[in-house]
Structure 1
């Protein structure tokens, strides 16, 4: 999936939002045409490039580049088939950016790889402040 796919998903996402669809619903719809991990589908549903996500991540976490790089985000988006498993902290911030719950960003099979305490946290944590934190554009 490349930049053209992102542009198509961004266009579809804007259309669906205008008609009252939530990010969660949009991610499901995009997943029908684009097989990908939930983490990537949510980025596409939000219509964000990896660079935009990284910028927002650093703004929310108060970090300057050590917190997340584009290459690491791609690793997370490829997991569990390849790449790295995101931390619970990372899932929480990405969920805020994508306006969803952390548990929606990973598959149930992937959830099983976390500790019991982390599984509980992922399942039950939603956004903490009510704002999605996504940049416009």
Structure 2
């Protein structure tokens, strides 16, 4: 992680911990962090949860009951960069990452990114929770 990215993560962790102690939900924290740290919702939720990419991948694998082939840090970064760069996450990956972050899959996407999914997948992502 670059120095700036790491400092952002540390700032977000500090703020997230403080906000959780005061009763804010992970969804509320992600919105607040977005005020100072413009990023994709997927990245903001990771920061709101206070997780590094490695911690996210480890939790993802534990929940999926898989090992290294399921998600790598580089793929997570690809997902977090979509649609400007990277790769669009699958519905399966979004569902699992929503569990990692304690939110609903629909919250991990902007409306523009959601529109890139099939109507069936959009409905599924809206229903999960």
Pair in the same fold by TM > 0.5:
yes
What's the RMSD between the two structures over aligned residues? 0.6
Provide the residue aligned with 2:37 in structure 1: 34
TM-score by length of 1: 0.91
Aligned length: 126
Deviations 1:85-118 (A, max 9, x none): 0000000000001000000001000001101110
Distance 2:62 2:123 in 1: 26
- Structure 1 runs of 4+ aligned residues shifted over 4 Å read none
Q: Which has a greater percent of helix?
A: 2
Shift, 1:62, TM fit: 1.0
Provide the residue aligned with 2:82 in structure 1: 79
TM-score by length of 2: 0.96
Q: Give 1:107's match in structure 2, choosing from 96, 110, 114.
A: 110
Give 1:39-54 correspondences, 5 Å limit. 39-54=42-57
